[in-house]
Every structure is written in structure tokens, then in C-alpha cells.
Amino acid sequence: MRREHGNGKEPSEEMPPGHGSNGRDGSVRSALQWRSNGRNFDYLVVGAGFAGSVISERLAAGLGKRVLLIDRRPHIGGNAYDHYNDNGILIHRYGPHIFHTNSREVADYLSRFTRWRPYEHKVQAHVDGMLLPIPINLTTINRLYGLTLNSEQAEAFLAARAEPVDDVRSSEDVVISRVGRELYEKFFRGYTRKQWGIDPRELDKTVTARVPTRTTEDDRYFSDSFQNMPLHGFTRLFENMLDHPNIRIMLNTDYRDVGRAVTYEAAIFTGPIDEFFDYRFGRLPYRSLRFQHETLDQKMVQPVAVVNYPSEQVPYTRITEYKHLTGQAHRKTSISYEFPTDGGDPYYPVPKSENLQLFKKYEALADRTPNVQFVGRLGSYRYYNMDQVVGQALALYRRMSGSRTRPAILHETANLSPMTAASS
């Protein structure tokens, strides 16, 4: 992998040893010297997250194309970036990223770049002074109400509380029609209001639709067939994926910085689509997060990786303890608090119908824009998990390597895991 740094900035502590310090030769000029057929590169790929990295790897290794991959952040990996903090604990800078998929294709593809550590994600919610499993399961019901129901009785218990909703449209409708108002208010209402800054009544049903309710003791957050974490972390996986002589990387480099300086046949853009078009039709709303990272002088602090705090009296939504995810042995432990905000990096497209209408306008414009493909979470304004983004990039590659004409934004993905909006 060749890594270059635009704007003269070095990645400093974002790139600890073993996390991306190899292969730098430090100048934009050396990237530009890479020229044949009058062009510097075959492809410019904007954004070094899963979308941009997968498509770069495929174009380079699969088609022998020369790729310039840029990112305005000082590191590769996009939101999945992880690194060792000052105490030597592996943390996820942009909040907990748990890998899970039902797609054999996606798992096999990523397995070329990492070995895996088995990990099944568990989440608990802090409700009525207790830590209770979420998604709601048999244990949640029995502990919350001091009961000893079996599965059948728990089903009847929930059915008696569920409120029939004729036309399930909103996130509130979904939950109330399944478990009733009381459990909705204890576990979902406050969390969703904090997370999205709007009432669940105004949020599309997709946000909570896929969070299951169980009447067994299964306390896994996901039920996908493949649940594993990359053995040495996500950043190492990205480094291995991008370690190809046809790929050059420039960090600290915005798309606009390279615009005319580099020549290429076509671009693949994985940043926000409205930004690409200078917000011509207005801004697509995003919800963001502020992370507060802390290291504590104790071995472990909470029983599971993530504890949700649905109460609106608590300003954060959840606390993550990273050692649960990574399996790292260390005498200290690192956690992060998440505070949802409107400003900041664009993380979550807000699933409301008027926003989707606005996106459609950008999508139509993208279709009329030659030589640029939009892919990834921000390029598609979709709530995609990592496996879905990998599947989308692999599908784009299949199209690019074949002769079929393609839409500028590809919504086709592999057989993928359900979206889990309440979790990530």
C-alpha cells in the first residue's frame, strides 16, 4: 500500500504503530507522477471507509486498475476505524462497530483480509434501576415484573398488552403494536427521542421495525449466521485490503483538493451526495453523535459491551466498553459515552418521507452525471450496516466488470442482515 498525505498534515497519533504507518512516501506530487496513457489514475475513489476501500481493492486486484483513494480524515477505515489509545487499549473512535451478516459472499470476501474472533453482541438497558436484556426477551419481562413466566406465558403476556394499530407507519406504531405502551415508554420512547431528536411518532417505521422481541432467553442482539469481530481490529483489516501496488492513498485530502490536479477516467464517491452537488436542492438532514472517550483504572466496568440509557433524564444514549468487543486483556478499561447531536459528522440519514423525496432529486441528478458512481451509506442516503455496504460495493464491482449499464446509485446488495437502527 502506498500512502500519501495531502495538505502537508501527518496523521500523528491516529496512526499508532501497526495501524497504517507503513508505506508513506509523503507527497501529492509522487501520486501525480504515476501517469500512463495521459492519465494519473483509472479511478479516483473518494472515502476510505468500507464502500471506498472494497471498491478500490476490487478494481485494483480484480481488474488491474490504478486507483487513487482519498479521505479527508487522517486515517483509513471510515467510521469503522479503530486504534490503540494512549493507554494501549483498542477502541472504536466512532462508536462500537459490531460485525454481523447473513451473507456468505460478504463474510468470505472479508475473510481474505482478516482472521476472526467469535463475538455475539449483547446489550442491556438501564430501566427502573436494573440492567435488563434488550431486545426485550423472557428475562427482561420476568425481571422487570418479578414474574416466572415460561415462553408461552410470555407470549400471552405481550399479546395482552400489544395495542392493535390498523396502519403501522411510525416507529411508535411498530413497538406499541408489538409490546404495548408501557414497555414502549420504558425501553424505546426516550432512547429514540434522544437518538433522533424527534418523537418516534414522526419517525419512519423502519427505525424500530427490525428490532425483534423474543419470548425465549436468547439475549443476543443479532441473530445473523455470521457474528465475528476482526481478530486484530478493523483498521488492520483495511490495511490488508488496501495493500496492493495499484492503490495509492492520500489522507487529509478532500475531494475538492484533488479535483483538477489529478486526472482519472471515472470517480466513485462515498461521501454525502448532497455535498457533492453543492447542496443544490438543500441539505439532506443527518443525525450526528459526540463521543466522550474515557479510560478507567479498573479491569471491567459493565457486564456487557453496550448499556443503553433510555431515560431522558440521562443526556447520553449508551455507554460502550470496548474490551468486550475486542477480547483484549488489560488492567484498565476504556469506555465511550454517546451524545446525539444535529451538528457534526453526518452519521445517520434521518428516515422521514420528505428527506427521502429530497434524496430522490439528488439520485436523479446523479443518474445524469457521467463518470461518477455513488456508493456507501452517505452516497446512497441509506441506513446501511457494514455488511450491506460491502455487499453494495461488491455488487457495483460486478456491474463495473461486466458490460451492463448501471445506475449512478446502486441499491442492490447481497443477501444481507436486517438493518438494526436502534443499535448502531
Ligand X SMILES: Cc1cc2nc3c(=O)[nH]c(=O)nc-3n(C[C@H](O)[C@H](O)[C@H](O)COP(=O)(O)OP(=O)(O)OC[C@H]3O[C@@H](n4cnc5c(N)ncnc54)[C@H](O)[C@@H]3O)c2cc1C
User: Which amino acid, 317?
Assistant: T
Q: How far is the CB of 221 from ligand X (least distance, A)?
A: 9
Q: How far is the CB of 50 from ligand X (least distance, A)?
A: 4
Contact between 419 and ligand X by CB under 6 A: the answer reads no
Q: How far is the CB of 120 from ligand X (least distance, A)?
A: 13
C-alpha to C-alpha distance for 133 and 244, rounded to whole angstroms = 44
* Nearest alpha-carbon partner for 343 in 256, 280, 285, 384: 285
Number of residues that bind ligand X (CB under 6 A): 34
Q: How far is the CB of 161 from ligand X (least distance, A)?
A: 30
**Residue placing its CB nearer to ligand X in the complex, 161 or 255:** 255
Site string for ligand X, 274-303 (x = CB under 6 A): ---------------x--------------
Cα–Cα distances (Å) from 19 to 79, 83, 234, 236, 406, in that order, read 15, 7, 10, 6, 35
Contact between 391 and ligand X by CB under 6 A: the answer reads no
C-alpha to C-alpha distance for 154 and 394, rounded to whole angstroms = 42
Residues 235-254 that bind ligand X (CB under 6 A): 254
Site string for ligand X, 28-47 (x = CB under 6 A): ------------------xx
Contact between 270 and ligand X by CB under 6 A: the answer reads yes
**Residue placing its CB nearer to ligand X in the complex, 114 or 142:** 114
**Residue placing its CB nearer to ligand X in the complex, 94 or 188:** 94
Task: Spell out a b/e string for 241-265, using b for 16 or more CB atoms within 10 Å of the CB, else e.
Answer: bbebebbbbbbbbebebbeeebebe
**Residue placing its CB nearer to ligand X in the complex, 51 or 307:** 51
C-alpha to C-alpha distance for 80 and 42, rounded to whole angstroms = 26
Q: How far is the CB of 51 from ligand X (least distance, A)?
A: 3
Inter-residue contact 262 to 31 (CB < 8 Å)? yes
Strands of 356-423, DSSP E: 372-374
Taking the alpha carbons at both ends of the chain, their separation in whole angstroms is 30
Rg (CA), the chain: 22
Contact between 50 and ligand X by CB under 6 A: the answer reads yes
Among 11, 20, 49, 351, the residue binding ligand X under the rule CB under 6 A is 49
Burial class from Cβ neighbours inside 10 Å (0-12, 13-18, 19+) for residue 278 reads exposed
Q: Tell me the three state secondary structure of residue 186.
A: helix
Cell numbers for 347: 452519521
User: Which amino acid, 18?
Assistant: G
Contact between 94 and ligand X by CB under 6 A: the answer reads yes
Residues 171-200 that bind ligand X (CB under 6 A): none
Cell numbers for 312: 431522558
C-alpha to C-alpha distance for 327 and 329, rounded to whole angstroms = 6
Residues 346-385 that bind ligand X (CB under 6 A): 347, 376-378, 384-385
Question: Tell me, what DSSP letter sits at residue 371?
Answer: T
> Would strands 67-70 and 247-251 be described as parallel, antiparallel, or unpaired?
parallel
The Cα diameter of the chain in Å comes to: 74
Q: Which stretch binds ligand X (CB under 6 A): 90-98, 179-187, 311-319, 328-336?
A: 90-98
Residues 103-162 that bind ligand X (CB under 6 A): none
Q: Which stretch binds ligand X (CB under 6 A): 26-34, 77-85, 107-115, 319-327?
A: 77-85
Q: Which stretch binds ligand X (CB under 6 A): 23-31, 65-73, 151-159, 319-327?
A: 65-73
Among 6, 11, 20, 52, the residue binding ligand X under the rule CB under 6 A is 52
Q: How far is the CB of 63 from ligand X (least distance, A)?
A: 20
Among 138, 229, 325, 386, the residue binding ligand X under the rule CB under 6 A is 386
Residues in the site for ligand X, rule: CB under 6 A? Answer: 46-52, 70-73, 78-80, 94-98, 254-255, 270-271, 289, 347, 376-378, 384-387, 389, 424
